[in-house]
Amino acid sequence: MSLFENTLKQIEKAAKIMSLDPEIKSVMSVPQREIEVSLPVRMDNGSLRIFTGFRVQHNNACGPYKGGFRYHQQVDKGEVKALSAWMTIKCSVVGIPLGGAKGGVIVDPKLLSEGELERLTRKYVQLVAANVGPTIDVPAPDVNTTPKMMDWFADEYAKIQGKDLNGEGFALKGVVTGKTLPNGGSKGRGEATAQGGCYVLHEYAQSIGMEPAKTRVVIQGYGNAGGIAARLLAADGYSITGTSDSQGGVVSDKALDLPALTACKTEKKSVVHFAAEGVKVVTNEELLEADCDILVLAALENQVTVDNADKIKAKMILELANGPVTPEADEILAKKGIIVIPDILANAGGVTVSYFEMLQNAANKYWEEDEVKVKLKDIMVKAWQEVKANADKFKCTLREAAFITALARIEAKIKEKKLI
């Protein structure tokens, strides 16, 4: 089943439970606009290569389209469509006035020089410029795209508009988020995804009386989201007893020494080289099935499937990655009583702070990190409470409840604005 079919299935399920107006379900089942572009890029050796890129704008009933763009050799339009729909739902779950979009270019960025990546990024901007803008569609970093690329994006967009970002065109910085701080980024953006997930986890833990000191956490994906989550959860008193990256994982009976583990990952490029008393190297499959209380999924989509859902020992799953559990696996986990805090809620901290970045760019006034954190916490806690209330009301899973929360808000907007 394709990723987009997974998304449609999730919408279908929630629609049935909440008796969603069938016309709203039809609107949500198709993106409003799909853009495909061919990007001619001059390579360092003088040759010309044509790359294929996409921007899919799923829905803007709640506000301007919002969503990252990725550089990966396996990008395809179906994947981008699924991710764009999840963005619409995610923004609505946390109640920020944004719609959903996603972009991508089929390229292995590791094979390109920095100059080639800059020319590729600027060409992408030139070809999507007519359809993006601070009040139209606002891209952001995603897999393999960085704050520096977002700076190139804003710079190229301003050039096309004939404006100076440091002068009268300051508000055009809001055409893209996830920029570096000197170029209009927001404080707290780097940590936002993990931080938002931790705020939600904290609310859940309190509601069931879970004690961090007695709770073992295993984290798949020691990258941006997973690595920061490890640090924040350890600071809250949780024991991080296992983690992994693309090369494999490590598990231990007691809490891992995170500063030493991070140093190892930086120096030797993988956590599998981390050696300490009681630490065992495991495969990625074994890591997912490790004995623990909480499993944090922070790597890729489709990690927990029909093949391994039955073997998961964790009592709950926090999805920081997008789509790490397939719909079929979701049903198995629900039957086993394993609670899943779904991606569209758990990782929404990233897009929430991106929204803060848009507000700061528009006002040309920048917030301190504490202010960002307080505002992020307010939004995440409120979203958790609404999702939990819907889960109780409809006697459904948290994922179904998150979709219901989002779809109800989108339905109200579509009807209020008479969009259909």
- SS3 (DSSP) at 48: strand
Q: Residue 203 or residue 286: which is nearer to ligand NAD going by CB? A: 286
Choose the stretch contacting ligand NAD; rule: CB under 6 A; options: 24-32, 53-61, 119-127, 219-227.
219-227
x/- string (CB under 6 A) for ligand NAD, residues 314-333? Answer: ------xxx-----------
x/- string (CB under 6 A) for ligand NAD, residues 294-313? Answer: ----xxx-------------
Residue in the shown chain whose Cβ atom is closest to ligand NAD? 223
Q: Which two tokens stand for residue 251?
A: 């598990």
Number of residues near ligand NAD (by CB under 6 A): 21
Q: Residue 20 or residue 288: which is nearer to ligand NAD going by CB? A: 288
Rounded Cα distance, 191 and 212, in Å: 20
Q: Which residues contact 20 (CB under 8 A, 6 or more apart)?
A: 14, 407, 411
Q: Return the residue of 223, 286, 302, 394 that touches ligand NAD, per CB under 6 A.
A: 223
**Shortest Å, Cβ 3 to ligand NAD:** 11
DSSP 321: S
Which residue in 102, 123, 187, 377 is the catalytic one?
102
Length of the chain, please?
420
Task: Residue 240: name the closest of 266, 221, 224 by CA.
Answer: 221
Rounded Cα distance, 411 and 416, in Å: 8
Q: Residue 189 or residue 388: which is nearer to ligand NAD going by CB? A: 189
* Strands laid side by side in the 69-72 sheet: 33-42, 48-59, 100-106, 69-72
Helices (H), 47-139: 77-93, 114-128
Q: Is 102 a catalytic residue?
A: yes
Please list every residue from 126 through 155 that binds ligand NAD, using CB under 6 A: 143
**Shortest Å, Cβ 197 to ligand NAD:** 9
Tally Cβ neighbours within 10 Å of residue 45.
Answer: 6
**Shortest Å, Cβ 322 to ligand NAD:** 4
Q: Which two tokens stand for residue 398?
A: 């948290």
Q: Residue 82 or residue 410: which is nearer to ligand NAD going by CB? A: 82
Q: Which residues contact 359 (CB under 8 A, 6 or more apart)?
A: none
Q: Return the residue of 103, 221, 242, 327 that touches ligand NAD, per CB under 6 A.
A: 221
What phi, psi does 173 have (nearest 5°)? -55, -30
Q: Residue 139 or residue 226: which is nearer to ligand NAD going by CB? A: 226
Q: Return the residue of 220, 239, 241, 352 that touches ligand NAD, per CB under 6 A.
A: 220
Rounded Cα distance, 282 and 138, in Å: 40
* Residue 341: strand pairing partners: 318
Q: Residue 245 or residue 411: which is nearer to ligand NAD going by CB? A: 245
Please list every residue from 350 through 369 that binds ligand NAD, using CB under 6 A: 350
x/- string (CB under 6 A) for ligand NAD, residues 231-250? Answer: -------------xxx----
Do strands 48-59 and 100-106 pair parallel, antiparallel, or not at all (unpaired)? antiparallel
Choose the stretch contacting ligand NAD; rule: CB under 6 A; options: 106-114, 223-231, 306-314, 364-372.
223-231
Rounded Cα distance, 250 and 286, in Å: 10
Q: Which two tokens stand for residue 361?
A: 């760019």
Rounded Cα distance, 260 and 52, in Å: 41
- SS3 (DSSP) at 281: strand
Tally Cβ neighbours within 10 Å of residue 330.
Answer: 23
- SS3 (DSSP) at 134: coil
Q: Residue 79 or residue 411: which is nearer to ligand NAD going by CB? A: 79
> Using the rule CB under 6 A, is 73 a contact of ligand NAD?
no
Choose the stretch contacting ligand NAD; rule: CB under 6 A; options: 20-28, 154-162, 216-224, 234-242.
216-224
Tell me which residues touch ligand NAD (CB under 6 A).
Answer: 143, 193, 220-226, 244-246, 284, 298-300, 320-322, 347, 350
**Catalytic residues, which ones?**
102
